[in-house]
Homo-oligomer: A and B are copies of this chain.
Amino acid sequence: MSGTRAARVTIHDIARELGISPSTVSRALSEGGVVSPATRQAVQDAAQQLGYETNRAARSMSLGRMHGLGLIVPDLRDPFFAEIAKDTQSRARVLDTAVYIADTDRDPAAELDVIRSMRREVDGFVVCAPRSADDALTAALDGAPSVIVHRSVDGFACITADLVDGMRQAIAHLRAIGHRRIAHVTGPAGSWSTAERLRGYELEVEPRDRIVIGPNADAFEGGVAAAERLLAAGATAVVTYNDFSALGLLSRLTALQVRIPQDLSIVGFDGLDVASVARPLTSVDVPRARAARMAVDVLLREAPGPQSSVVLPTQLIVRATTGPAPSQ
């Protein structure tokens, strides 16, 4: 059984089988082809029966386009991007589109390189490229249909989340339970999302009340390093730029005998499940699965442009790392 490891079936085989021309077969097999219903049926039956599968390379060459999409992510080890990859891929599969993946290992130069080298091989890009400069990114994409995820770049379709509002929710929650000294541990310099969260923070907190610690290149280590400065500054609560930063903070503070949330409240960002295995973390959930699916839809079903941009809502999830401000 199955042993039919034979040479691949082509439209020529079908044509010969049916005594018609390859072009007719091609027409019968393609969407808008003009053929008699009878012929179409016969061709489809024969194709089915012979086990014909269209040769994408040949079709690509003829059409000048590939049936695939390039996904650029900075680091698959980061669960945030692993989830984006998962959902990009699953949505693309529904739309019969292959996903060609490139992990740039957080190197801005690599981001541009892989884009350039894939540009001709794919129909478009879903891009998570937090590091490279706007203009360099624009130049590298060079007109290729693209959707930028989790970052806003002029002239592109961008699927982002309302981080400013997420920050507002976090701070409102902390204030409601009595906190006044609320710090912010920021992310890597030059990242769009780091800037947005900071903007949200500055919108909510008076200049004289601000405690900003950062930038921090590494999430967990940045959190660890921030702990002492946080205490020195007299903060009773902190919003970090992502969940791993919050975990770093939590780990160091616990070592310093600081009780969470009795002595200090912590709000993370992203809402990753994996971050809560250690400790139920209050966090601002950032929709990433939904962003990925929308990105694919925009890329494959529209001519993606600035008009397709979407800002998705964020949502504070209160768990066990926030509580009333210490009374003192």
The chain B residue with its CB closest to the CB of A247 is B277
Seed contacts A86-B103, A93-B114; 5 additional CB < 8 Å A-B pairs: A55-B61, A57-B57, A98-B121, A247-B277, A278-B278
**Any B CB within 8 A of the CB of A310:** no
Q: Give the most central of A60, A61, A86: most B CB within 10 Å.
A: A86
Separation of A120 and B278 alpha carbons in the complex (Å): 43
CB distance from A305 to the nearest CB of B (A): 15
**Any B CB within 8 A of the CB of A274:** yes
Q: Chain B contacts of A244 at CB under 8 A?
A: 277
Q: Is the CB of A76 within 8 A of B68?
A: no
Q: Chain B contacts of A53 at CB under 8 A?
A: 116-117, 120
**Any B CB within 8 A of the CB of A253:** no
The chain B residue with its CB closest to the CB of A140 is B2
The chain B residue with its CB closest to the CB of A61 is B57
Q: Chain B contacts of A68 at CB under 8 A?
A: 100
**Any B CB within 8 A of the CB of A75:** yes
Q: Which 3 A-B pairs have the closest CB atoms?
A: A278-B278, A57-B60, A76-B86
The chain B residue with its CB closest to the CB of A244 is B277
The chain B residue with its CB closest to the CB of A274 is B274
Separation of A68 and B139 alpha carbons in the complex (Å): 26
Q: Is the CB of B120 within 8 A of A247?
A: no
As a 0/1 sequence over residues 37 to 79 of chain A, the CB contacts with chain B under 8 angstroms (1 = contact) are: 0000000000000000101111011000010100000011101
CB distance from A274 to the nearest CB of B (A): 7
Separation of A244 and B244 alpha carbons in the complex (Å): 16
CB distance from A258 to the nearest CB of B (A): 17
Q: Is the CB of B277 within 8 A of A251?
A: yes
Q: Is the CB of B89 within 8 A of A101?
A: yes
**Any B CB within 8 A of the CB of A291:** no
Q: Chain B contacts of A100 at CB under 8 A?
A: 68, 98-101
